[in-house]
Amino acid sequence: MGVSDWVLIFTTMFLGAIAIWGDRIKQAIYPPKMTVSFDEVSPYCHKTYYRSSPPFEEINEPVFFFRFQVENTGASRLKGCEAILEQLWTYNSAGKPQRLHGFNDVTLVWINGRRPSTDLNPYRRDFCNIGHIASLKYQNEKESGRFIDIPGNRDQQLRFLFELAEYPHSQPNCLLPGKYAIKVKLYSENTRPKELWFEIAWSGKWQDNETEMFRELTINQISKLE
Check if the beta carbon of residue 107 is closer than 8 Å to that of residue 176: no
Each residue of 14-51: pLDDT tens digit? 555 455 555 555 555 668 999 999 999 999 999 999 99
- Judged by phi (left if over 0) then psi (alpha if -120 to 50, else beta), residue 7 lies in alpha
Q: What pLDDT digit, counting tens, does each position of 104-160 carry? A: 999 999 999 999 999 999 999 999 999 999 999 999 999 988 999 987 666 678 999
Map the chain to HEC letters: CCHHHHHHHHHHHHHHHHHHHHHHHHHHHCCCCEEEECCCCCCCEEEEEEEECCCCCCEEEEEEEEEEEEEECCCCCEEEEEEEEEEEEEECCCCCEEECCCCCCEEECECCCCECCEEECCCCEEEEEEEEEECHHHHHHHHHHHCCCCCCCCCCCCCEEECECCCCCCCCCEECCEEEEEEEEEECCCCCCEEEEEEEEECCCCCCCHHHHHHHEEEEECCCCC
Q: Which of 157, 197, 166 is nearest to 36 (CA)?
A: 197
Query: Is pLDDT of 56 > 90?
Result: no
d(CA 74, CA 55): 47
Looking at residue 224, its pLDDT comes to 87
Percent of the chain predicted with pLDDT > 90: 75
pLDDT at 153: 62
**Mean pLDDT over each residue of the chain, to the nearest integer:** 89
**Confidence at residue 34, expressed as pLDDT on a 0 to 100 scale:** 96
Q: Give the tens place of pLDDT for each residue, 173-187.
A: 999 999 999 999 999
pLDDT surpassing 80 at residue 76:
yes
223: CB partners within 8 A, 6+ apart: 197
